[in-house]
Amino acid sequence: MKIHKGQALFERERFQDLRQLVQKTAEKHGDHPAYVFRRAPNAQDETRSYARFWSDIQDLGEYLLSEFEAEERAHVAHICQNSYEWMITHLPVMTAGTVAVPLDNALPEGEVLNLLERGDCEAFFANAKHFETGVKGLAELPKLRILIVNDLTLAPKEAPPALPAAPAGKVAIYLSQALAKGHALREAGSRKYLETEQNTMGMGAIFFTSGTTAAAKGVMLSQNNLLANVHMIDQIMEVSSKDRFLSVLPMHHTFEHTAGQLYPLSKGATLYFTDGLRYLGENLRDWKISCLVGVPLLFESIWRVLSRGIEASGKANMVKLARPICRNLEAAGIKVRRKVFAQILDKLGGSIRLMVVGAAAADVEVIKGFNDLGIEFYQGYGMTEHSPVITAGNRKVDTEGSTGPPAPGVEVAIAEDPELEPGQGEILARSESLMLGYYKNEAATREAIDADGWLHTGDMGYFDHRGCLHITGRYKSVIVLANGKKAFPEEIESLFNNTAGLSGTMIWGETNVRDTVDVCVRFEVDSTKLPETIGKDDEAISGYLETELQRVNKLLPDYKKIKYFVFSEERMVRNTTLKLKRNEEQDRIHLVLVTEAKTIRDVSGKRIF
What mean pLDDT comes out for the span 434-453?
97
pLDDT of residue 212: 44
Residue of 486, 563, 481, 475 whose CA lies nearest to 520? 563
Instruction: Give CB contacts under 8 A, 24+ apart, made by 505-509.
Output: 506/572, 506/580, 506/582, 506/585, 506/586, 507/479, 507/562, 508/477, 508/479, 508/582, 508/586, 509/479, 509/480, 509/481
pTM for this predicted structure: 0.88
Q: Which residue has the higher pLDDT, 542 or 480?
A: 542
Rg, Å, the chain Cα set: 25
**One-letter amino acid identity for 497?**
N
pLDDT of residue 526: 94
Model confidence at 215: pLDDT above 80 = no
**Dist. CA 336–CA 408, nearest whole Å:** 31
pLDDT of residue 213: 43
**One-letter amino acid identity for 457?**
T
Residues in CB range of 429: below 8 A, 6 or more apart = 383, 386, 390, 406, 410, 411, 412, 454, 455, 457
Residues in CB range of 36: below 8 A, 6 or more apart = 45, 46, 47, 48, 270, 271, 272, 273, 287
What mean pLDDT comes out for the span 240-245?
98
Q: In percent, how much of the chain has pLDDT > 90?
A: 83
Model confidence at 384: pLDDT above 50 = yes
pLDDT of residue 247: 97
**Dist. CA 308–CA 313, nearest whole Å:** 9
Instruction: Give CB contacts under 8 A, 24+ apart, made by 110-116.
Output: 110/213, 111/212, 111/213, 112/79, 112/137, 113/137, 113/140, 113/141, 114/213, 115/77, 115/208, 115/213, 115/216, 116/77, 116/141, 116/144
Under DSSP, the state recorded for 198 is P
Residues in CB range of 434: below 8 A, 6 or more apart = 225, 385, 386, 387, 449, 453, 455
**Dist. CA 452–CA 352, nearest whole Å:** 42
Q: Is the separation of the CB atoms in 288 and 355 below 8 Å?
A: no
What mean pLDDT comes out for the span 131-158?
95
**Dist. CA 225–CA 199, nearest whole Å:** 12
Strands 425-430 and 455-463: antiparallel
CATH 3.40.50.12780 domain residues, the chain? 277-476
What mean pLDDT comes out for the span 559-576?
93
Backbone angles phi, psi at 103, to 5 degrees: -115, 155
Among 20-34, 210-224, 298-312, 404-418, which stretch is predicted with the lowest mean pLDDT?
Answer: 210-224
Model confidence at 211: pLDDT above 60 = no
The DSSP line for 506-525 is EEEEEE-TTS-EEEEEEEEE
CATH 3.40.50.980 domain residues, the chain? 15-234
**Dist. CA 418–CA 397, nearest whole Å:** 29
Q: What is the largest CA-CA distance in the chain?
A: 78
Backbone angles phi, psi at 119, to 5 degrees: -85, 0
What mean pLDDT comes out for the span 579-602?
91
**Dist. CA 152–CA 46, nearest whole Å:** 12
| CATH code for the structural domain at 277-476 | 3.40.50.12780
Q: Is the separation of the CB atoms in 404 and 391 below 8 Å?
A: yes
Q: Which residue has the higher pLDDT, 4 or 472?
A: 4
Among 265-274, 284-293, 361-370, which stretch is predicted with the lowest mean pLDDT?
Answer: 361-370
- Other CB atoms within a 10 A radius of the CB of residue 514 amount to 8
Q: Round to the nearest angstrom and report the end-to-end CA distance of the chain.
A: 47
Mapping DSSP to helix (H, G, I), strand (E, B) and coil, where does residue 24 land? helix
**One-letter amino acid identity for 200?**
T
pLDDT tens across 185-194, in order?
Answer: 999 999 999 9
Residues in CB range of 137: below 8 A, 6 or more apart = 112, 113, 116, 124, 144, 147
Q: pLDDT band for position 487 (50/70/90)? A: confident
**Dist. CA 307–CA 560, nearest whole Å:** 31
**One-letter amino acid identity for 31?**
D
Mapping DSSP to helix (H, G, I), strand (E, B) and coil, where does residue 573 land? coil
CATH 3.30.300.30 domain residues, the chain? 479-607
Instruction: Give CB contacts under 8 A, 24+ apart, made by 417-421.
Output: 417/460, 419/484, 419/486, 420/460, 420/486, 421/462
**Dist. CA 80–CA 86, nearest whole Å:** 6
| CATH code for the structural domain at 479-607 | 3.30.300.30
Q: In percent, how much of the chain has pLDDT > 70?
A: 99
Q: Is the separation of the CB atoms in 21 and 90 below 8 Å?
A: no
**Dist. CA 557–CA 486, nearest whole Å:** 12
pLDDT of residue 270: 98
What mean pLDDT comes out for the span 493-498?
89
The DSSP line for 137-163 is HHHH-SS--EEEE--SSPPTTPPPPPP
Q: Which one of 3.90.1560.10, 3.30.465.10, 3.40.225.10, 3.40.50.980 gives the CATH number of domain 15-234?
A: 3.40.50.980
